[in-house]
Structure 1
Amino acid sequence: MLACLTDYLSLCRVTAAIGYLFLLLFSFFITVYTACFNGSCQVLDSCSQATDCGPGLYCGNCPALGKSQPFCTRGQAIVPTSIVGGLPFNKYSWLMTHNSFSIVDAPSLQGVQRLTFYNQEDTVTNQLMNGVRGLMLDMYDFNGDIWLCHSFRGQCFNFTAFQPAINTLREVETFLSQNPSEIVTIVIEDYVHTPKGLSNLFLNAGLDKYWFPVSKMPKKGEDWPTVNEMVQANHRLLVFTSVASKEAEEGIAYQWKYIIENEAGDPGVKPGSCPNRKESRPLNSKSASLFLMNYFPSYPVETEACKEHSAPLADMISTCFKAAGKE
């Protein structure tokens, strides 16, 4: 079965999966979903004000879809463990955001105009509160610290910098401490060269107490522990890096040793095609039990997000499912 049933929603309705974990990456959180009043309206119902829509929905529109009348849109993802509990971690679909830190209207801390693409509208805290359980973070050495930057050529500049990474990690720590049954995954695009830089960063953010040890991660495509077991052991933070050597040096899991991934950017949104990322093993590989599904264009356009994350997203889930040999 599909890991994520979207029903043409931008933030997908998450259900238990059979076989793979689908981490759905979205460039923007807002999306589209039908018409009535007094909290009785459901997804895609027409509406005129926020109170018309049911819980977890808001009243919005999507001009890119040719919609002139506002309708109820899902603003919160359904956390899969609220539907089915106690399954292995890889049997669920978890919502993940791409460049989670690259937030529209985030103030520049460098005193210069930021020149970069933005991928999110919500703060990281609000993303987590709205059902996101995975964050993609680009980390760089910058100004004697480790910063989150949406940059290029492996270097952070003052016009691509957002903030010190520890600020965002402290948001994650606050969320985990306030929500003791939740699990969060962080995937790092890693440009940090400072020895022990990442491990010290997570330690200083107070996240070491939630760390899922690399030694306990499945190495041959087996099931992960159940979510109940992970919560009981307080192993509620999974962290992956794009640098292979840091698994031995810092105890941070090498991403493509544990995760199969489709191509990111424009190749990942081409209808009918779901190629694997070049760093990843083929999608039908049985050697890893986590599948990370990228779905965002190379150049995000905010006004197009609601369209991209509707029917095309549902179609791509089916395409990738077949590419993984799960027909």
Structure 2
Amino acid sequence: MRTPHALLAAATALAAAVVTPPSHAAAAIPAAGAYYVQSATTGLNAADNGGAVEQHNPKGNEDHQQWNLRAAGSSFVLESADTGGSCLGRSGDKARTVACTSADAAWEIAPAGGDQYTLKAPGTDRHLTVAAKPSGANYPAQLAVGSSGGLASWYLTPVTSPTRPMPPADQRTLDQVTFLTAHNAYANGVDGGFAPPFVNLVPNQIRGIDRQLADGVRGFMLDIHQTPDGAILCHNSCTLVSKPVALWVDVQRIVDFLKAHPDQFATIFLEDYVDPGVLRNELARVNGLSDVLYRPDQTGVRQNGWPKMADLIAAGHRLLIFTDHSRASDEAAGLTRDSFGVMYQKDWTVENYWSMGSGLGSSDWSCYSRWYDADTAIPLTRTEPGFRPLFVMNHFRDATITSTARTDNTKLADRARRFCQPAARKKPTFLAVDRYDLGDPASAVDTLNTYIYP
């Protein structure tokens, strides 16, 4: 990790500069420069690990993941930014670092559709590729040299993100805007109980939902559990929780705010442990919800991309609700949540892993998909023709410790620009933090709202 002074200098330089998109954005071959070699399948980066080239979680300037691309005759080489003279190359069927003067360091680079590329050993049909996934396991870390196909598609992601100025207010689309988001917004100790007594002493936030709205929070992460009373907001379970808040109460607060502020937009994220019928009945109690609920599934977003914010506001579509629940389990139950306006988050967003560490000691700033394991591979880089998922960037710890949250929140803009934005190849839409009142994360939101990622 860089020193605090270096972090501040990097963040200041990034915030002050609007970088012109590199010429490779519209060209067949990337321009010379510093890149991450990023798998289109997994979203993970090629990293030098003692000579072995492996796919690792994206980690900014750490972990030997940056490569300097340059022409070498009719081919190209990718020299390690950390080890001069050492290039991404091959030995047999394994990807290795080799001397940049070696024939095994040369690659032919060709477009593979969209903004993806293939890297092929000259004069052969052998490509840099992710090793095939064994049954029931994740993709191996060690990168391979093998046949063409989907596993051999790569992004060459610029280390310094290409950006453009934010469009005027009447032109910017939903995916171009960044929103301050409160992790466990309900766990504030102001609106009601949220956990057993001991856990109640360490709230994720210290201001109630109404104050959060007044302070500019526009994303709300809420955990819901099922009790005989309906969908209740609690952490882990509602057992032993004194005076918990019902979901409909907090949703009503948000709807009332939107009614009073017709130019504002908000999003609710549900960590969802209730039956679909229970959730439907709970939301039916919210007065005016249908007046502001936004339904991207009914407005052609998957085909045409996200609409302009001005159009959403003009139409009154100003509240988006996501659930992390499984669509498959709802289909088995005979009632899907999107039938009553709650969107399945994995259909519409990508999200990085939720924790940076315990809250004490070392931190992990790497940025990789929360939905990447032996059974699921939804990379942060996921895109579809005409559609780019919204990016939920989590920036918090296992436990909320005041001093740690304050420090973490001062580094939010730097992590977003230097770690998570290149990892996702898109700008964060939602910056989710604990204790948003500490470290001024709103300033990070303001910084990100000065530009867009092409």
Shorter chain as normaliser: what TM range?
Answer: 0.5 to 0.7
Matched, 1:318 2:409: no
Equivalent residue for 2:185, pick from 100, 104, 109: 100
Matched, 1:307 2:390: no
Report the equivalent of 1:132.
217
Matched, 1:263 2:353: yes
Query: What are the Cα deviations for residues 237-257 of structure 1, in whole angstroms up to 9, with x where unaligned?
Result: 101111223345534210011
Equivalent residue for 1:239, pick from 300, 303, 321: 321
**Is the strand fraction higher in 1 or 2?**
2
Report the equivalent of 1:276.
369
Deviation for aligned residue 1:235: 0.8
Identity over aligned pairs, percent: 24
The one-letter code of the counterpart of 1:260 is V
Task: Give the Cα separation in 1 of the matches to 2:349 and 2:223.
Answer: 18
Equivalent residue for 2:344, pick from 227, 230, 254: 254
Relative to the length of structure 1, the TM-score reads 0.67
Deviation for aligned residue 1:114: 5.7
Q: Residues 241, 119 of structure 1: CA spacing in aligned structure 2 closer, same or farther, 3 A cutoff?
A: same
1:107-186 aligned at under 5 Å gives the runs 107-108=192-193, 113=197, 115-116=199-200, 117-151=202-236, 155-159=237-241, 162-186=244-268
Query: What are the Cα deviations for residues 9-65 of structure 1, in whole angstroms up to 9, with x where unaligned?
Result: 9xxx9xx9x9xxxxxxxxxxxxxxxxxxxxxxxxxxxxxxxxxxxxxxxxxxxxxxx
Given that 1:196 and 1:250 are in contact with CA atoms closer than 8 Å, whether structure 2 keeps it comes out as no
Q: Higher relative contact order by CA 8 Å / sep ≥ 6: 1 or 2? A: 1
> How many pairs were matched up?
249
The one-letter code of the counterpart of 2:382 is S
The one-letter code of the counterpart of 1:178 is A
Query: What are the Cα deviations for residues 184-209 of structure 1, in whole angstroms up to 9, with x where unaligned?
Result: 1111111111x422233223112121
Equivalent residue for 1:227, pick from 287, 292, 309: 309
Deviation for aligned residue 1:157: 1.4
Deviation for aligned residue 1:166: 1.7
Q: Residues 231, 323 of structure 1: CA spacing in aligned structure 2 closer, same or farther, 3 A cutoff?
A: same
Query: What are the Cα deviations for residues 256-288 of structure 1, in whole angstroms up to 9, with x where unaligned?
Result: 110011100126994551111026721111134
Task: Give the Cα separation in 1 of the matches to 2:349 and 2:172.
Answer: 19
Given that 2:192 and 2:245 are in contact with CA atoms closer than 8 Å, whether structure 1 keeps it comes out as no
Q: Residues 255, 109 of structure 1: CA spacing in aligned structure 2 closer, same or farther, 3 A cutoff?
A: closer
Deviation for aligned residue 1:107: 4.3
Deviation for aligned residue 1:231: 1.1
Q: Residues 172, 160 of structure 1: CA spacing in aligned structure 2 closer, same or farther, 3 A cutoff?
A: same
Q: Residues 115, 312 of structure 1: CA spacing in aligned structure 2 closer, same or farther, 3 A cutoff?
A: closer
Query: What are the Cα deviations for residues 97-126 of structure 1, in whole angstroms up to 9, with x where unaligned?
Result: 11000004554499x736354100111111
- SS of the residue corresponding to residue 159 of structure 1 reads coil
Larger Rg: 2
Task: Give the Cα separation in 1 of the matches to 2:420 and 2:299.
Answer: 28
Q: Residues 169, 229 of structure 1: CA spacing in aligned structure 2 closer, same or farther, 3 A cutoff?
A: same
What do you get for the CA RMSD once the two structures are aligned?
3.4
Q: Residues 273, 239 of structure 1: CA spacing in aligned structure 2 closer, same or farther, 3 A cutoff?
A: same
- SS of the residue corresponding to residue 305 of structure 1 reads helix
The one-letter code of the counterpart of 2:252 is R
Report the equivalent of 1:27.
none
Task: Give the Cα separation in 1 of the matches to 2:206 and 2:423.
Answer: 31
Relative to the length of structure 2, the TM-score reads 0.49
Task: Give the Cα separation in 1 of the matches to 2:167 and 2:221.
Answer: 24
Report the equivalent of 2:175.
90
Q: Residues 129, 225 of structure 1: CA spacing in aligned structure 2 closer, same or farther, 3 A cutoff?
A: same
Given that 1:272 and 1:316 are in contact with CA atoms closer than 8 Å, whether structure 2 keeps it comes out as no
Matched, 1:196 2:277: yes
The answer for unaligned runs of 5 or more in structure 2 is: 1-7, 22-165, 331-335, 427-452
Report the equivalent of 2:148.
none
Deviation for aligned residue 1:313: 4.8
The one-letter code of the counterpart of 2:353 is E
Task: Give the Cα separation in 2 of the matches to 1:127 and 1:290.
Answer: 22
> Which stretch shifts more, 283-292 or 159-168?
159-168
Task: Give the Cα separation in 2 of the matches to 1:96 and 1:7.
Answer: 26
Task: Give the Cα separation in 1 of the matches to 2:354 and 2:271.
Answer: 13
Q: Residues 251, 168 of structure 1: CA spacing in aligned structure 2 closer, same or farther, 3 A cutoff?
A: closer
Q: Residues 302, 8 of structure 1: CA spacing in aligned structure 2 closer, same or farther, 3 A cutoff?
A: farther
